[in-house]
Structure 1
């Protein structure tokens, strides 16, 4: 199974990226095969045809499992993640991809944001989202048990793809 992490934080190497890597590893038992720290794609996100962006889109679209992560900005996912998701064809850009929406925030007020805001976009792009989204408090996710609790509860709902996965 090919696993990818997509982090849509305006800061490179963010806590969002770290949390997504931790979740992917918890769900699969190994580090993700690919990491797309969207902000590192730079101004190529603002148009069409950029080679780095195209390669990142192809990597994500050919993955079996993708953790899509964003901090909570103005009660939703970031604009930089939206710019990246706009690069995928509606309906089948994420066909055959199992997606897990993950969002981080300062407090519990937006705990439903992964399911209410990020998951519908992923489904619109053709992804399958068999698990509920996960919302983490950005100041405590490294100390609390939310990722391991989520994995224990939901890992069995992930489809098993390919031999040796």
Structure 2
């Protein structure tokens, strides 16, 4: 059975980014008949921000990394801050062994205030995933703040992109791809 883990890089609660991650993870869970878990950077921000060691993690962080490494499908999402993903999301990945996620499949997503930020998914999150040798779906998801009401996704167009990305992820998961890649 596939395991799905979503990562919300938002620093606030509630969060449109978390709502988008939940939407994507729920759709994937339904398609794959598999459970989904969410790692919320806002919930681990205190221990994450003070962690600088690569070999000793506080329990909440160790649990998050264990979930991530056990996942088959990862949803990586961040709000756009100053034309990039959040610093704590970057720090979360900075502490991770570069080989830990090789061969996994990911759906990339972001939220932001305007269309000007949409390329952050392809130019920054896709680059991050590539560094970790993660297979990414061709369809990424970018949702503007106006596509949410009370932190709930209300856009049918974004829901359609979610469906497309999940279909692509399911296809990638069914391929006989190597689980470890040589850099």
TM over 0.5: yes
Distance 1:32 1:110, change over 3 A: farther
Deviation at 1:31, TM superposition (A): 8.1
In structure 2, the residue matched to 1:6 is 7
Deviation at 1:144, TM superposition (A): 1.4
Deviation at 1:72, TM superposition (A): 0.5
- Pairing partner for 2:161 from 150, 157, 161: 150
Q: Which structure 1 residue ranges, 4+ long, deviate > 4 Å from structure 2?
A: none
Larger radius of gyration: 2
Deviation at 1:28, TM superposition (A): 3.7
Query: 1:9-158 counterparts in 2 under 5 A?
Result: 9-29=10-30, 33-45=36-48, 46-47=50-51, 48=53, 49=56, 50-90=58-98, 92-141=99-148, 142-158=153-169
8 Å CA contact 1:8–1:39 kept in 2: the answer is yes
Spell out, residue by residue over 1:58-116, the C-alpha distance to the aligned partner (whole angstroms, 9 max, x if none).
101110111111100001100111111112112x1212321111100111011111111
SS of structure 1 residue aligned to 2:102: coil
Spell out, residue by residue over 1:14-44, the C-alpha distance to the aligned partner (whole angstroms, 9 max, x if none).
1110111112222342685211111211332
SS of structure 1 residue aligned to 2:91: helix
TM-score normalised per structure 2: 0.79
Structure 2 CA distance for aligned equivalents of residues 12 and 31 of structure 1:
26
8 Å CA contact 2:45–2:88 kept in 1: the answer is no
8 Å CA contact 1:7–1:38 kept in 2: the answer is yes
Structure 1 CA distance for aligned equivalents of residues 34 and 120 of structure 2:
26
Greater helix share, structure number: 2
What is the RMSD computed on CA atoms of the aligned residues?
Answer: 1.9
8 Å CA contact 2:139–2:164 kept in 1: the answer is no
SS of structure 2 residue aligned to 1:99: strand
Q: 5+ unaligned residues in a row in structure 1: which ranges?
A: none
Aligned residues, how many? Answer: 160
